[in-house]
Amino acid sequence: MDVLIALIPISLFLGGLGLAGFFWMLRKGQFDDPDGDANRILSPDYDDKPKE
Amino acid sequence: MGALDQTVGSDTEKPLTGAPCAPIILSLPTIRCAGCISAVERGLAKENGVETARVNLSLKRVTIEAAPEISADHLVATLAAIGYEAHELEPSLLADTKSDAEGKALIKRLAVAGFAMMNVMLLSVSVWAGAEAATRDLMHWVSAFIALPAITYAAQPFFKSALSALKVRRLNMDVPISLAIILAAAMSLYETSQSGEHAYFDAALSLTFFLLAGRYLDHRTRASARSAAQELAALEVPRALKVVNGAEVLTPVAELAIGDVIAIKPGARMPVDGVILTGESEVDRAFLTGESLPAYVGPKCAVNAGEINLTGPLSLKVTATAKDSSLQKMAELVALAETSRNRYTSLADRAAAVYAPGVHLLAALAFVGWMILSGDIRLSLNIAIAVLIITCPCALGLAVPAVTTAASGRLFRRGILLKSATALERLAEIDTVVFDKTGTLTLGTPVLEAPGIYPPDDLALAVGLAAHSSHPLANALTALDITALSGLTDVREIPGHGIEARLNGALVRLGRASWVGADEATQTATHLLRDGQNPVSFMFKDTVRPGIAELIPALQKLGFGIHLITGDSAPAAQAIAKRLGIDNVAANVTPQQKLDIIEGLTADGKQVLMVGDGLNDTAALTAAHVSISPASAIDAARTASDIVVLGSDFSVLSDCIKTARSARARIKENFALSAIYNLIAVPFALLGFATPLMAALAMSTSSITVTLNSWRVR
């Protein structure tokens, strides 16, 4: 059971990484136009990122 | 401008280069696919002066950065030419919807609760699998280490709401929720410190997570209702042309004072009440009174705010500011009607009123009962808390918001905006529909009745003359597929009368009956005079709004009573009612009478849906159980309505009613589902058999069933 000493912090760290990533995406406005993003992949226009 | 960019989903840290003026934001009610996005963006990019155009499909808007000389009207026309309906939005009025700080905070709390819940659940699995002694204690301590800070942060909305309810000595749904979360965490911490067997950290966290999910969905419905209202307010761009020392200055309507002189261009709406100083024209009073025939106005005539100037430029002396105008007098009627509206209690509130006291009573009974039976405080408290956790309304918290979110999303995709969170519940209850005529059943745009009966030369001449005017009747003539007669000379429009010209030296006129020398017609008409001949009268009929012809039979099939009430004359009302098969008609009614009719129907026990667009409808819209207006309606009418239809086609309304009924059915099923789950789980908890594993299973399955059931809304 000694492996738990390593595994628990690792799993918490990885989960925390996911949480931080989600916060970052939220701040970057990735969820502002979900319908549009879903449809834009069908368009042949070059659209790497939102035009600024 | 950084803030504005958020609407279009781009980065906030954008450097401000180029494009010195504010972006133009247009509402696009009809876009729905990838093709539409490219078509709109490409169509706009081709225009000279347009720098960027970015469509936001979720909000159905396009944000355009363009050179200052590009007007929104021009872009609206460009989009209309490629087949997309567009309306200008006032960016300053959209400010609040952009940031949505509250929604973002809820999402963050939800993410934290979800993260903590999954980790604690992982640790709990090993406890459930049979970890013992030191290992179990370690798992419990790690869980406590994750759960306590997470709960402190994530469950704050519940604590705050519960506190504010308790301060005014009231119970709301958040009181049992907060109590369950706090007690579960505190009891688990105590049990952990005593090396106890059961810790409910995972239950406390999943409770927080599922309830936050419900809270977020609820917030989204409210926020989109609010942003809908703001979007509608932004559709009206209230400015007037004030004449200062002979020059016209664009002034906000709110800054106009009595005695100011303003210029009204043909096609513009009167922003305030006033008296005409110079100019002659015709005004369209349909919004105010429901009359479909334009009225002649000249110097010294009084005009009211909301009327539309049709033909000639007018200069107007302001007699009442926007605040005191006749528009505002209607507002008093609206305020009167509003009091009855606020009495509606939503299904969720009714459920909470029964539920909250019940849960507390049950937990208290469990504690007292076990104290009497066993005399062990720790055991009794554990059972009471288990009861509180198990009964806690995870599913109940999701029952209403999950359904409303699914339904309003569906309706929004069909171009229907819900402005009120309870609009769907109320719409599901209606049994009577009352329609206004002008602008609601009809579009208010005339078309020539039976073009075939007129001599072709006369028609060609009329079209030739009409090409020189922007009067609605002239537009109706030029819209016909008829080649205009050429060879007209000296063409001039006499505002308020018509158009005259010379054809091979002879005088020809197209315009009002009295000016041309024809007999007054009973319906909308314009008259053509050729030198030395009898005048020809062209009769027009109003176009019925698309979708209405299918809507009325669909409503009748549902067993609804259908009424038509209008301020227009009886023959016009009867004609349209006969065409559509509506039996109950009231014509020539004043706004007060409209209100009386609605209140009369309500007093008879009917639940009335009012559909209207004019200023004269606003009081009736407010008094009705639920109300709908088209996007083309006047601002006050849209404000008074619960639901706004963005497109011009009304056939979606019968679907809207079906969705509302289906939503109400799903909400009731959800309540039943959570009741069944409680009926099964509560006896176990009361008898002291509840374990953290059971609580976790019951909570997740009930929440998931309720959510899945909600997606069945059609």
pLDDT value of residue B534 = 79
pLDDT given for residue B10 in this prediction: 38
Contact B33 A39 (CB under 8 A): yes
Count of residues in chain A: 52
| Low-confidence winner among B12-21, B157-166, B346-355, B561-570 (lowest mean pLDDT) | B12-21
Q: Which residue has the tokens 């016209």?
A: B248
Q: Under an 8 A CB cutoff, do A51 and B54 touch? A: yes
The helix (run of H) or strand (run of E) holding residue B227 is helix B201-235
Check whether B150 has a pLDDT greater than 90.
yes
Q: Which residue of A lies nearest to B136 if distances are taken between CA atoms? A: A1
Q: Which residues, at least 6 apart from B328, have a Cβ–Cβ distance to it below 8 Å?
A: B322
Q: Does the pLDDT of residue B5 top 50, yes or no?
A: no
Chain B: give the shortest CA distance to residue A23, in Å: 7
pLDDT at B306 over 90: no
Domain with CATH 2.70.150.10 in chain B: 239-321
The active-site residue out of B436, B568, B613, B617 is B436
pLDDT tens digits, one per residue of B42-62: 888 888 888 888 888 877 788
Among A32, A42, A46, A49, pick the best mutation site for testing chain B contact (most B Cβ within 10 A): A32
Which residue from B minimizes the CA distance to A32? B9
Of A5-14, B194-203, B282-291, minimum mean pLDDT range = B282-291
pLDDT (tens digit, 9 = 90+) per residue, B450-505?
A: 777 888 888 888 888 887 777 778 878 887 777 777 778 788 877 778 888 888 88
Chain B: nearest CA to A43, how far in angstroms?
Answer: 6
The predicted complex's ipTM stands at: 0.81
Into which CATH architecture does domain B408-443+545-655 fall?
Answer: 3-Layer(aba) Sandwich (3.40)
In chain B, CATH 3.40.1110.10 sits at 445-543
- Rounded to the nearest angstrom, the minimum Cα separation between A22 and chain B is 8
pLDDT of residue B26: 84
Reported as a pLDDT band with limits 50, 70 and 90, residue B22 is low
Which residue on chain A is closest to B119 by alpha carbon?
A: A12
Mean pLDDT in residue range B425-436? 90
Judge whether residue B430 has pLDDT over 80: yes
Region B617-628: what's the mean pLDDT? 85
Dihedral class, residue A43 (left if φ above 0, else alpha if ψ from -120 to 50, else beta): beta
**What's the pTM?**
0.70
- Which residues of chain B form CATH 3.40.50.1000? 408-443+545-655
Confirm whether B174 is a catalytic residue: no
Beta carbons of A42 and B123 less than 8 Å apart: no
The pLDDT value given to residue B18: 42
Q: What are phi and psi of B391, to 5 degrees?
A: -75, -15
Helical pair B34-46 and B72-81, crossing angle rounded to 10 deg:
130
Q: What is the mean pLDDT of residues B116-138?
A: 84
Query: How much of chain B exceeds pLDDT 70, in percent?
Result: 87
CATH 3.40.50.920 fits B2-89, yes or no: no
Q: pLDDT of B201-224, one tens digit each?
A: 888 888 888 888 888 887 877 676
Q: Say which of B9, B41, B59 has its CB closest to residue A29.
A: B9
Q: Is the pLDDT of residue A20 over 90?
A: yes
Given a cut of 80, is residue B507 above it in pLDDT?
A: yes
| Mean pLDDT of the B508-531 span | 80
Q: Cα(B378)–Cα(B551) distance, rounded to whole angstroms?
A: 65
The mean pLDDT of B496-515, rounded to a whole number, is 83
With a cut of 90, say whether residue B391 has pLDDT above it.
no
- pLDDT digits 0-9 by tens, B637-671: 777 788 888 777 888 888 889 999 999 999 889 88
**B62: closest chain A residue by CA:** A36
Residues of A with a Cβ under 8 Å from any B Cβ are 1, 4, 8, 11-12, 15-16, 18-19, 22-23, 26, 28-29, 32-37, 39-45, 50-52
Domain B239-321 bears CATH identifier 3.20.20.150? no
Q: What is the DSSP string of B403-414?
A: HHHHHHHHHHHT
pLDDT of residue B3: 37
Identify the pLDDT of residue B15: 37
- Nearest by CB: B55 against A8, A32, A36: A36
CA atoms of B615 and B396, how far apart (whole Å): 41
B119-136 as b/e: b if 16+ CB within 10 A: bbbbbbeebeeebeeeeb
Indicate whether B358 pLDDT > 50: yes
Q: Is the pLDDT of residue B225 over 70?
A: no
Question: Alpha carbon B73 to chain centroid distance?
Answer: 23
Residue B402's CB is within 10 A of a number of other CB atoms, namely 26
Least confident of B161-165, B234-238, B294-298, B357-361: B234-238
Selecting from B14, B104, B112 the residue whose C-beta is nearest the C-beta of A26 gives: B104
pLDDT of residue B111: 92
Superfamily per CATH, domain B445-543: Calcium-transporting ATPase, cytoplasmic domain N (3.40.1110.10)
Q: Which chain B residues are Cβ-neighbours of A33 within 8 angstroms?
A: 8-9, 56-59
What is the average pLDDT score of chain B?
A: 79
Tell me the nearest-neighbour CA distance from B114 into chain A, angstroms.
9
